[in-house]
Chain A
């Protein structure tokens, strides 16, 4: 009896943890992305869209935040940050390589510290 209870208990935990890890198809993520002007907005959003699984990407200059809706089964916000860093914009977790930052238009040269 005790064994059955134990097994049941384990499977319950197993199910619970499964529920915890369940991936959302429309996960909302807000990521800090540094940028300066209108041109940056297009570049950041376009870079985000190249990542399959990104459904919506909106960058606002005033709060320097990229509002994402992505399908967690296909991708995660780290992948999106890597794609954005590749085109020259620093993000929360990924810093752009210096050569990529240099390639930006002068109006886009945001502050890096």
Chain B
């Protein structure tokens, strides 16, 4: 009997041991996605990580969105080569662009501000569709783009990036970082870029890209005291950018202010100091106080032929935020106070308008935002703020975002929000200065250049579903947004080719995006999106669609990377294809035949590709091509043979001006 029992026990033990062996820890190695879309976040936010930013030529923030389906990237004019971004069919003035949650591209820096943040400084970008959070401000109408810069405490000691391209643009980025003590760390980022030679691929005697140089320096300090709960950032930033464009024979010392040759210079200098102070209560990790302050000085001196535009903006921004919970972490709230001060010195000299538009804007506001999360399948963010602005008056801005997960891997979102802003009509429409258009502001009674404030409501709904297709992960999503402008500062280019009219009016923008993402094979991903836009504005001449906006757009991106072998060697391949439907063009009917464009532009496609070779974990090289198909706009500059005549216009741009562009670069790190 004892023998039987002992054998039985032995068997039992061995079974147990066997069971233990098979229960090996399963290590799940998920490939981190370069664009992360959460099923849990309340807002329709996609996070672009630094991995995504490496996929395109991507020299600065304005060029970081080439591989992202939600943002449309266009050229704004034929001369400065500045890329303009649009979300939901609306241009960047209607987006709240923040850097580490402090509003950054606004006012004087609206036109070129995105090109003043080098791509290598960026850690991640959060793109939110629908009215942004009330914590940051009241101006966001169609969405919010927040850029997080690399933090000193988590940075590597040295980074170098060198870049060159066939349009003679060269860039150098160097990052230095030092951990000074266990609490203090500091980074110094130095960026320089230049374009040295004159290019005229379309032979219209005008430079396709501006000559220029830029120096951009950022010094960051971070203090982290985890036990006491203090975190602090101090940033010092300086930037100087010089651009020269115009006719090939233009000499700035000889021809400025004359009618010998048409030329333009845009010189910008910027200085910023910003601080963030955060305190997390040590025994209450859900309760914290944040205090943000930012002091900026932005100065732009520019001329476009005989037109002149000088603007200096001094601003101060301050935001005090208190975060805590009600009962438990399912109910969170944020509340606080905000103060903004802007001092504008603006001088405009264009046909029909010459004078100073100096003004001072101040606003004080209080906000409250409540977040509910039932930790299972539902959450909402309801916020409101009240602001008193010396020009916009006393007004309220409500915002609501809701998220619901109906079943596994599905998320349904809805949002409603109101935004109000003053349109800086000159700073936001600088491309019109490089033309012979006569400017006219039709309203005179409003407080902002004679116009009233822009007020809009944004509503949207989106749905995303993840699923398996032939055993590989895929997801499909769609979103629909409508922006209703109760009042907009309308720029009318339909009245006539020699006119630019500004007046108050109503408009709406409907946008629909259908997206399909699929992991074709391991390390081989496909991204596709179709976008439909219906944007109508009440112009004086009737309800017409907004010019230079395609109704249909199609985007696809293919990304493939090889397995990382020993030593960190890897190949990465990227290909992006964009198809743009026909775009309505501004009115050029009364121009002579040579300077007449049709009612619509042709539809066309653009392709970009890039190959990256990682030699080790510290060194990689990349090469690529933009506009592989060499598609160029037929007549980029109207009246190019007589730039001081009545038909000159460089602002009607619907396609690239420069053809194929090859580039190459290297990245070197010391870890």
Contact = CB atoms under 8 A, between A and B. Distances in A.
A56 interface: yes
A16 to B, nearest CB: 22
Contacts of B374: 46
Interface of B is mostly: loop
B286 A55 contact: yes
B329 interface: yes
Given A42-B375, A45-B375, A52 B327 contact: yes
Interface string B267-294: 0000000000000000111100000000
Contacts of B375: 42, 45-46, 49
A69 B284 contact: yes
B181 interface: no
A57 interface: yes
Nearest to B376: A42
Interface residues of A, number: 13
B324 to A, nearest CB: 10
Interface string A77-92: 0000000000000000
A56 B328 contact: yes
A40 interface: no
Interface string A26-61: 101000000000000010011001001011110000
Contacts of B283: 24, 26, 28, 69
B376 A56 contact: no
Contacts of B325: 55-56
B196 interface: no
Nearest to B283: A26
A56 B328 CA distance: 6
Interface residues of B, number: 12
Most buried by B among A24, A46, A56: A56
A55 B376 contact: no
Interface in B646-664: none
A57 B284 contact: no
B482 to A, nearest CB: 34
Contacts of A69: 283-286
Contacts of A42: 375-376
Contacts of A52: 327
Most buried by B among A52, A55, A69: A55
A49 B531 CA distance: 42
Interface in B303-355: 325, 327-330
A49 B329 CA distance: 9
B603 to A, nearest CB: 46
A69 B375 CA distance: 16
Given A46-B376, A54-B328, A69-B286, 10 more contacts: A24-B283, A26-B283, A28-B283, A42-B376, A46-B374, A52-B327, A55-B284, A55-B329, A56-B328, A69-B284
Q: Which 7 A-B pairs have the closest CB atoms?
A: A26-B283, A56-B329, A26-B284, A55-B328, A49-B328, A42-B376, A45-B375
9 contacts: A26-B284, A42-B376, A55-B284, A55-B286, A55-B329, A56-B325, A57-B328, A69-B284, A69-B285
